[in-house]
Amino acid sequence: MRLVFLSHDSSCTGGAQKCLLDLLKGIKQNYPDWQLYMVFPAQGDFVDICSHYLDGYKILRLKWWLVDGRYLITKKKKLSYIYKLLRSSFKLLRYLQRIKPDCVITNTIVVPHMALSSRLLGIKHYWFIHEIPDVTWGDKCFIFKSQFIFKLIDKFSTKVLVPSEYAKRYYQNMILRDKLNIITQAVELSPEVNVNQHRESCARYTILLVGAFDSNKGQMELLQAIKRIVDVGRDIYCYLVGPDIGLKSVCQEYIRMNKLERNVEIVPFTNQISLYYYMTDVLLVCSAIESFGRVAVEAQRCGLPVILSDVGANPERIENGVNGLLYKKGDITDLIEKIEILRDVRVRKKFSEKIDLDMLGKYSIDCFASDFVKLVQV
Q: Residues 82, 9: one domain?
A: yes
The answer to whether residue 370 sits within a structural domain is no
Q: Residues 168, 224: one domain?
A: no
Q: Place 82 in a pLDDT band, splitting at 50, 70 and 90.
A: confident
Q: Residues 120, 217: one domain?
A: no
Q: Residues 25, 87: one domain?
A: yes
The answer to whether residue 193 sits within a structural domain is no
Has residue 68 got a pLDDT over 70? no
Q: Residues 155, 245: one domain?
A: no
The answer to whether residue 371 sits within a structural domain is no
Instruction: Write out the residue range of the structural domain in which residue 74 sits.
Output: 2-183
User: SS3 for the chain, per residue?
Assistant: CEEEEECCCCCCCCHHHHHHHHHHHHHHHHCCCCEEEEEECCCCHHHHHHHHHCCEEEECCCCCCCECCCCCCCHHHHHHHHHHHHHHHHHHHHHHHHHCCCEEEECCCCCCHHHHHHHHHCCEEEEECCCCHHHHCHHHEHHHHCHHHHHHHHHCCCEEEECCHHHHHHHCCCCCCCCEEECCCCCCCCCCCCCCCCCCCCCCCEEEEECCECCCCCHHHHHHHHHHHHHCCCCCEEEEECCECCCHHHHHHHHHHCCCCCCEEEECCCCCCHHHHCCCCEEEECCCCCCCCHHHHHHHHCCCCEEEECCCCHHHHCCECCCEEEECCCCHHHHHHHHHHCCCHHHHHHHHHCCCHHHHHHHCHHHHHHHHHHHHHC
Q: Residues 111, 36: one domain?
A: yes
> What's the structural domain count of the chain?
2
pLDDT in tens, 250-271: 999 999 999 999 999 999 888 7
What pLDDT score does 188 carry? Answer: 78
The answer to whether residue 197 sits within a structural domain is no
Q: Residues 142, 225: one domain?
A: no
The answer to whether residue 156 sits within a structural domain is yes
Q: What is the CATH number of the domain that holds 231?
A: 3.40.50.2000
Q: Residues 256, 178: one domain?
A: no
The domain boundary residue, chosen from 151, 183, 215? 183
Q: Residues 279, 153: one domain?
A: no
Q: Residues 170, 220: one domain?
A: no
Q: Residues 17, 98: one domain?
A: yes
Q: Residues 224, 178: one domain?
A: no
pLDDT in tens, 185-208: 998 765 444 444 445 556 899 999
Mean pLDDT over 214-229 rounds to: 96
Say what percent of the chain tops pLDDT 90: 70
pLDDT in tens, 350-369: 999 998 876 777 899 999 99
The domain boundary residue, chosen from 183, 218, 233? 183
15 or 55, higher pLDDT? 55
pLDDT in tens, 131-142: 888 766 666 666
The answer to whether residue 372 sits within a structural domain is no
The answer to whether residue 259 sits within a structural domain is yes
Has residue 322 got a pLDDT over 80? yes
